[in-house]
Structure 1
Amino acid sequence: MNVRVVSTKIIKPVHDHNSPQPIARSITSITLSAFDRVSEDMHIAAIYAFRPPAPSNSAVATGLARVLSHYPEWAGWLGHDENNNPAILLNDKGVKLTEASVDSTFDEAVPLDLSPVHLSLQPSKHGIEELLQVQLTRFACGALVVGYTMHHRVADGHAASQFLVAWGRACRGLEVHRHSSLDRCSLFSPRNPPHVDFEHRGVEFASEEFARCLDYSFKGKIITYKAHFTKEFLKKLKSQATSGAPPRRSYTTVESLVAHLWRAVTIARGLDKNDTTNVRISVNGRTRLRRNVPDDYFGNLILWAYPRTTVKELVSRPLHYVAELIHRAVADVDERYFKSFVDFASSGAVEAEGLVPAPEPKGRDMCRNLDVDSWIRFPLYELDFGGGSPFYFMPSYVPVEGLVNFLPSLVGDGRIEVHVSLFDHNVAAFQQLCYSLDADTRNYGYNHNWDQVDKVKEMARL
């Protein structure tokens, strides 16, 4: 696909009578909260596609300028406040907007499955100071692709979705209401006296020496496989997971599907039965700190659960065993855990011990583990710039083996689309496992002896 850049410009906030101008201009910086500081120091990216007649580039840019007056964070830079704390500087440096074109039609040029081709439809994430970038790409058929990169320390997925919907409203000339304050840290003050009830070293924080010594080696080409799970399949999977569960326990669809995919990926990888494996699952603090934090809080408010077990336990026990591991690990990241994290992050131990946010092997091999991101509850398809909802959404291509991304169905029929990144030599075995409900009891030895599992592991190595 040949993407031709037409122009590049900077979009700055434009204040009108509905803008929170006095508030924004009285604040020169927003100090990052402890949750912001442990989020990934990187840009996240995605693309939306809209069928013609799509709004003009000028209309999209005008709406962006309007919405930036309500979300001035995106027009700033990362830096330090007057107390030398990490902060977002509200300097109105602006957002980089690139206009581009493609001579072919969208259907001819854009692959259905996630691939490196998609990178040309979004701005580069490297060597930039802008916290938000936008690329508007017009196709010969009239389709418009809106690609963006957003710095993760400004907002998590929940907050970023809130901004995108507001941007669409601004483009349509509708009012934009932001209820959340620009002040982040006042909501997360440490308790007096503090109570660090949980271990946060090695979880959210690690030593700089440990971070430098991490070494993940590639084992082959990484393929992102897109799996589609129907509402009927998910209902049966959830029923299977709940069968044999503790009394009055009913696992969610996501818990059941994560359990199923964790086992399928593990067998496809051909891991040794004595290996330990875990799943990294994001937990939204808005549901944990509901009494103190509004649902529309803008910033990062995510910690992580890490259910773990041995490979042998994972693939030889019933599905409800795995679902229970996931359920308990997520439930344990509760209000007490979030408050303990705030107390630890504010205690001075991080600075005194030279701790840094625990690194994730982005762009490398997750080894025996999985990193699951669920975007199912995000209003992905409510973005409307004036020409209707998108017909296509795709997260950025990130070559991380072991990355799993959950997306809701575009048509809203209860289906779930899952992008699973694996080494190419493991994809065939994974395909045989991921759509099979019978695999749990017959084909793959989940409830039988280990010799049967070894046969599948051998197939995964072929």
Structure 2
Amino acid sequence: MNAKTNFNVKMNKTEVVAAVLPIQEHWLPLSNLDLLLPPLDVGVMVCYLNPIIVSEKNKNLEFGSMVKILKASLAETLVSCYAFAGEIVQNSGGEPEVLCNNSGVYFTEAFADVELKEINFYNPDESIEGKLVPKKKHGVLAVQVTQLSCGGIVLGCTFDHRVADAYSANLFLVSWSELAQSKPLSQLPSFRRSSLFPRRPGYYDSSLNDLYVPIPTPPPTKPETVNPNDQVISRIYYVTMDKIGHLQSLANQDQKCTKFKRSKLESFSAFLWKTLACGIKETSSFKKIRFGMVVDGRTRLSNGDDNQDKLLKGYFGNVLSIPFGEKKVEELKEKPLNWVANVVHEFLDIAKTREHFLGLIDWVEARRPEPAMAKIYAADGDGPAVVVSSGKNFPARKINFGWGDPVFWSYHFPWVGKTGYVMPMPSPKGNGDWIVYMHLLKWQIELIEASAAHVFEPVTANYLNLI
């Protein structure tokens, strides 16, 4: 069956869902790590089969009933995840803060004249963007639930990255699904910013100046000739467990001690970095490639205190750092994969300590209110840049609202920058395969499909067993 991208989506109804209990209006400051994020929206999509087909017990569960369950449980979830029911405004110092005023979440009901098995997930620019994942126009979070012609549903959410990272969004989705099934929350979210307060006096290593930079004031924009190769596009692939294992074995060649074994994600990232370098021609103006990886600091900030560990486990916000490496294109071409994997491991090691995150908090504090950002996103290099963010802990099997486990999911992050973004997630098959969302320059996607098609295979309904 041919996948469809030209289906129609009708927005039937939009209403505001607020927390079911009154929330005293208050200001929630963004942490220093939140302040490293510019205004960016991130989307996530979770797909479910027709519940009547999945289970006999759901035979009376119509779309309207599911929407009621979603709305009622969302209203409950916003009591504990109250920042998602607020809005971001500027404080007197010109910095963004969350006004927790329970203004609510815009919740849209929609219908798409397409079956789940017909959706072209491989090309999310056409099938997901603006169709199944909502554009957020108000507040911090927007939700859209779409009924498909086969009776399946797609739940799409878009949230402000300044308020939540993927870990926090996952925590929200799990809490929402637990309350939909009248279960107690397995993890209470915490907005206690004291976990990320700067030290007095502050201290940071000068190496942070190589990873983060103040955001420069943009010069007046001039009309530019659009180069088709500068277009950024999104694609979704799957990578089998065998291929991941093979890459890991290549990355660990000559690695005599298992203690220093390169991880699957490090090996995958090294392969992607080398693949992109090998596709750059000698006549190109690109001489180097930057490659970064997102590191979650929750476990890094732990100091052995049980209460602190518990708070950090439920911490709602951004606790991220993005270390990166920069290497010459020719060097990446010539060196074997295990050498590249060692480079990835080395720059990751920088961000794997408690002191790194404490220092980053202090680094931001020393520059406030001047905004700053990860340097890999700043267009000051002489070559392309790519960031890998791991979604390997995406809790898909826990996002069950009472009508079965999801059969497909993906984050969706079509941001406007030229730095590429890649997120591997566990496959719905549960067999060790990965689903990989890519948002890269058009020439990079074409290169990957030309030279690494044996690793990156387009997601199809066939692969997902939807046919």
Gaps of 5+ in 1: 16-20, 438-462
- 1:194-273 correspondence to structure 2 within 5 Å: 194-201=202-209, 203-209=211-217, 218-220=227-229, 221-245=231-255, 247=257, 248-270=259-281, 272=284
Shift of 1:367: 4.9
Match in the other structure for 1:59: 69
CA distance in 1, matches of 2:123, 2:14: 28
Classify 1:154/1:207 alpha carbon distance in 2 versus 1 (closer, same or farther; 3 Å): closer
CA distance in 2, matches of 1:226, 1:345: 35
2:362 to 343, 354, 364: 343
CA contact (8 A) 2:143 2:158 kept: yes
Query: Which shows bigger deviation, 78-87 or 332-341?
Result: 78-87
Task: In structure 2, give the amino acid aligned to 1:339.
Answer: L
Classify 1:178/1:381 alpha carbon distance in 2 versus 1 (closer, same or farther; 3 Å): closer
1:290 aligns with 2:308: no
CA contact (8 A) 1:266 1:368 kept: no
CA distance in 2, matches of 1:156, 1:115: 22
Match in the other structure for 1:406: 424
1:300 aligns with 2:313: no
Query: Which shows bigger deviation, 228-237 or 310-319?
Result: 228-237
Match in the other structure for 2:385: 369
Instruction: Output one character per residue of 1:271-326: Cα deviation in whole Å (capped at 9) or x when no partner.
Output: 64971211121111112102245222111100111122111111111111111111
Classify 1:116/1:230 alpha carbon distance in 2 versus 1 (closer, same or farther; 3 Å): same
Q: TM-score, normalised by structure 1?
A: 0.83
Task: In structure 1, give the amino acid aligned to 2:154.
Answer: V
Shift of 1:435: 5.2
Match in the other structure for 2:188: 179
Match in the other structure for 2:293: 281
Task: In structure 2, give the amino acid aligned to 1:51.
Answer: L
Task: In structure 1, give the amino acid aligned to 2:85.
Answer: A
Classify 1:211/1:39 alpha carbon distance in 2 versus 1 (closer, same or farther; 3 Å): farther
Classify 1:275/1:82 alpha carbon distance in 2 versus 1 (closer, same or farther; 3 Å): closer
1:330 to 331, 344, 348: 348
2:412 to 388, 396, 400: 396
CA distance in 2, matches of 1:312, 1:370: 17
CA distance in 2, matches of 1:129, 1:299: 19
Instruction: Output one character per residue of 1:180-205: Cα deviation in whole Å (capped at 9) or x when no partner.
Output: 43221x11222233222234446333
Shift of 1:268: 2.5
Query: Which shows bigger deviation, 330-339 or 268-277?
Result: 268-277
Provide the aligned C-alpha RMSD in A.
3.0
Shift of 1:11: 0.2
Shift of 1:84: 6.7
CA distance in 2, matches of 1:180, 1:404: 27
Task: In structure 1, give the amino acid aligned to 2:28.
Answer: I
CA distance in 2, matches of 1:142, 1:274: 49
Instruction: Output one character per residue of 1:17-51: Cα deviation in whole Å (capped at 9) or x when no partner.
Output: xxxx7xx53x6121110011112411101221111
Query: Which shows bigger deviation, 116-125 or 202-211?
Result: 202-211
CA distance in 2, matches of 1:362, 1:205: 8
CA contact (8 A) 2:171 2:187 kept: no
Classify 1:385/1:309 alpha carbon distance in 2 versus 1 (closer, same or farther; 3 Å): same
Classify 1:204/1:427 alpha carbon distance in 2 versus 1 (closer, same or farther; 3 Å): closer
Instruction: Output one character per residue of 1:353-385: Cα deviation in whole Å (capped at 9) or x when no partner.
Output: x4433577699x995221212211221342111
Task: In structure 1, give the amino acid aligned to 2:47.
Answer: A
CA distance in 2, matches of 1:109, 1:436: 23
Q: TM-score, normalised by structure 2?
A: 0.82
Task: In structure 1, give the amino acid aligned to 2:354.
Answer: E
1:135 to 144, 150, 163: 144
Classify 1:130/1:256 alpha carbon distance in 2 versus 1 (closer, same or farther; 3 Å): same
Query: Which shows bigger deviation, 195-204 or 237-246?
Result: 195-204
CA distance in 1, matches of 2:34, 2:210: 18
Shift of 1:123: 1.5
Task: In structure 2, give the amino acid aligned to 1:50.
Answer: Y
CA distance in 1, matches of 2:238, 2:276: 16
Classify 1:287/1:212 alpha carbon distance in 2 versus 1 (closer, same or farther; 3 Å): farther
CA distance in 2, matches of 1:31, 1:306: 28
CA contact (8 A) 2:412 2:437 kept: no
Match in the other structure for 2:172: 163
CA distance in 2, matches of 1:81, 1:71: 21
Shift of 1:222: 4.4
CA distance in 1, matches of 2:123, 2:103: 35
1:154 aligns with 2:163: yes
Classify 1:359/1:212 alpha carbon distance in 2 versus 1 (closer, same or farther; 3 Å): farther
Query: Which shows bigger deviation, 83-92 or 424-433?
Result: 424-433
1:122 to 133, 136, 153: 133
The count of aligned residue pairs is 422
Match in the other structure for 1:144: 153
1:31 aligns with 2:51: no
Shift of 1:103: 3.1
Task: In structure 2, give the amino acid aligned to 1:288.
Answer: R
Match in the other structure for 2:3: none
Task: In structure 2, give the amino acid aligned to 1:251.
Answer: R
Match in the other structure for 2:451: 433
Match in the other structure for 1:449: none
